[in-house]
Amino acid sequence: MKKAIDQLSRPFKDLRISVTDRCNFRCRYCMPAEIFGPDYAFLPKQEILSFEEIERITKASVNLGVRKVKLTGGEPLIRKNLHQLIRKLYEIEEIEDIGLTTNGILLPTYADRLKEAGLKRINISLDALEENLFKKMNGVGASVEKVKAGIDAAIQAGLKVKINMVVQKGVNEDEIIPMAEYCKVKEIPLRFIEFMDVGNSNGWNWDQIVTKKEMMGILASRYELIPIEPDYYGEVAKRYRLKGSDSEIGFITSVSETFCSECTRGRISANGSFYTCLFAQSGVDLKEDLRNGMTDTELMNKLNQIWNNRNDRYSEERTEESAVKRKKIEMSYIGG
């Protein structure tokens, strides 16, 4: 009974918005090249939410308690004039924090513009430092040096930078120590993410998971980890400080240590549906309502009803069979 009460009482604090379903990488985690190749039918422009529609959804969400917004993709920096959307969201008085997830290679071009528009923080995906492995993992042969240049550009622009690393057994667990050392030297937080069964196309199974416990065991060969207390209710990462430094690492443990009952995140897909879970099978379409004259009050009431009637706890219920059989929204539509 307590779990059901916790599930119902989660506040709606964090809105994640996918601004495009396209990406300039074809990484195995969310957009493997054999599926998302040159002939893949991405969403036509008219099916993607406009900046004005995103602004309306955000304002309605603010009235329900949202204070943080993160823009995702696909690769959000592919979306033309993204800084204009950030400026619109920045001007919503109640919004306290605007973030963005990216693979980083376009940051040398856009970092200053994003910061000036009101972006505060940025999560950059980097799953390996070894050049050949990184090229293989991103699916298009892009050099890791381009991501490093993006990291430097973001830091120079004054953005708060955090690095995300998805760890997959038999692929990049040997990069755990090099990544920790790189981020320690750069003085930026690092998040290790357990390989998750997001969408239907990344070939996930239990044997590919490197759990938090296993990652901590690898890190223990080099560092002593000091636990850090959570900063706020619903904080997903379990954070640690490397003893003898101010460097911080964290673990996103959606598989081995679930956190469904404390999740405060709602998600808007690239084509305008509202999801209450990263692993959802379906969402509630908002785009058609917006384009058919729905008022702001009606929009707010609809979001409130969806949130208060959610019952999602997929990570707590996951089995190997359900992970294979359950059809879930693709990562490129809903973002990370």
Give the residue carrying structure tokens 């490129």.
Answer: 332
Distance in angstroms (rounded) separating the CA atoms of residues 152 and 145 = 10
Helix (H, G, I), strand (E, B) or coil at 164: strand
Rounded CA-CA distance 153/159 in Å is 9
Strand-pair category, 238-242 with 248-252: antiparallel
What's the pLDDT at 2? Answer: 37
300, two tokens: 């707010």
The number of beta carbons lying within 10 Å of the beta carbon of residue 73 is: 30
CATH number at residue 77: 3.20.20.70
- How many separate domains does the chain show? 1
Which residues span the domain enclosing 283?
Answer: 2-162+262-334
Q: What is the pLDDT of residue 305?
A: 96
Query: What pLDDT shows up at residue 87?
Result: 98
Domain-embedded: residue 18: yes
pLDDT < 70: residue spans in the chain: 1-9, 28-41, 197-204, 314-328, 332, 336
Whether 39 is covered by a domain: the verdict is: yes
pLDDT of residue 5: 36
- SS3 state of residue 239: strand
207 is a domain residue: no
Tell whether 257 is covered by a domain: no
Q: Residue 292 falls within a domain, yes or no?
A: yes
Residue 117 exposure: Cα atoms within 13 Å on the Cβ side: 19
Please give the Cα distance from 51 to 54 (Å, whole number). Answer: 5
> What residues are designated binding site for GTP?
16, 101, 162, 265-267
Binding-site residues for [4Fe-4S] cluster, please? 23, 27, 30, 260, 263, 277
Residue 247 within a domain? no
Residue 218 belongs to some domain of the structure: no
Task: Extract long-range pairs of 282-286: CB within 8 Å, 24+ residues apart.
Answer: 282/329, 283/329, 286/57
CB atoms within 10 A of CB 88: 17
Q: What pTM was computed for the model?
A: 0.90
First-to-last alpha carbon distance for the chain, in angstroms, is 30
Report the binding-site residues for S-adenosyl-L-methionine. Answer: 29, 74, 125, 196
- Three-state DSSP at 167 gives strand
Helices 107-117 and 144-157 meet at what angle, rounded to 10? 30
Check residue 315 and give its pLDDT: 67
193: in domain: no
CB 333 within 8 A of CB 198: no
Distance CA 319, CA 205 (A): 10
Nearest to 25 by CA among 121, 150, 119, 118: 150
Q: Evaluate whether 242 touches 223 at the Cβ level (below 8 Å).
A: yes
Annotated binding site: 16, 23, 27, 29-30, 74, 101, 125, 162, 196, 260, 263, 265-267, 277
Q: Which of 13, 15, 123 is nearest to 69 (CA)?
A: 15
